[in-house]
Structure 1
């Protein structure tokens, strides 16, 4: 009997922790403001484009290190996330450098524990085409 109670207790706690963890996150990506030096700012709100960009960002290999880049970022992108219509949007800022020689991208963000990242050729190409079209 004691084993059955322990089993159900463990299962209950496990399910609670799963449900609690799934509600955390950034929320829904609703808009991206793209800032490129010497060009007009653009705003991306098309849901299909946002999904493509978000899936490319999921492929970034993040690290928590501080870097000093030799040149200004090619693109500054501000992602707007919505949790609830009654709560103001949350923003995440990314500075993106496209490495023409190797075709990859370097990303620096203002997110704790994800401050520096790199993106492979395929996803960097997708990201560049969507942000700089």
Structure 2
């Protein structure tokens, strides 16, 4: 009878360890459900939840070319701060990640800083324009 509480404790610990591994450290763009946009230059904030816009954002974000362990050396403040919301389980809180985004006036490209991963990404002119339309000109 004394072994029963110990067995229950071991099973509980194993279940907790197994469940904690379900939450991935990587963000799955298919789970992107919302984007909050903050434009400090224009003192404008808004939320994107429309399915078609989210679908377009997923596609555009997937095209970002990332370089790890790089901090941006920008002369100007970012044009946009985008907070991405990922929903993995309706019974769990959303996971958030934040991007700082600069749109180039010279060549039309975009640079994106992923704060959590300390990574700097770039988008070519065509995809940067799509991103800008979705985030700023909506």
* TM-score (ref. length: structure 2): 0.75
Q: 2:39 aligns with which of 33, 36, 39?
A: 36
Please name the residue that 2:77 is paired with.
Answer: 72
Structure 1's unaligned 5+ residue stretches are: 1-22
Aligned-residue offset at 1:130: 0.6
1:79-111 CA-partner distances (Å, limit 9, x unpaired): 000000111100010000000110100000123
> Is 1:56 matched up with 2:65?
no
- Counterpart CA distance in 2 for 1:56 and 1:104 is 13
Please name the residue that 1:92 is paired with.
Answer: 97
Report the aligned-residue RMSD. Answer: 1.5
> Is 1:131 matched up with 2:120?
no
Structure 2's unaligned 5+ residue stretches are: 1-22
Higher percent of residues as strand: 1
**Number of matched residues?**
110
Q: Return structure 1 stretches of 4+ with deviation > 3 angstroms.
A: none
Please name the residue that 1:122 is paired with.
Answer: 126
- Counterpart CA distance in 2 for 1:67 and 1:101 is 17
- Contact preservation (8 Å) 1:26, 1:83: no
Aligned-residue offset at 1:67: 2.3
- Counterpart CA distance in 1 for 2:44 and 2:129 is 21
- Counterpart CA distance in 2 for 1:106 and 1:83 is 27
* TM-score (ref. length: structure 1): 0.77
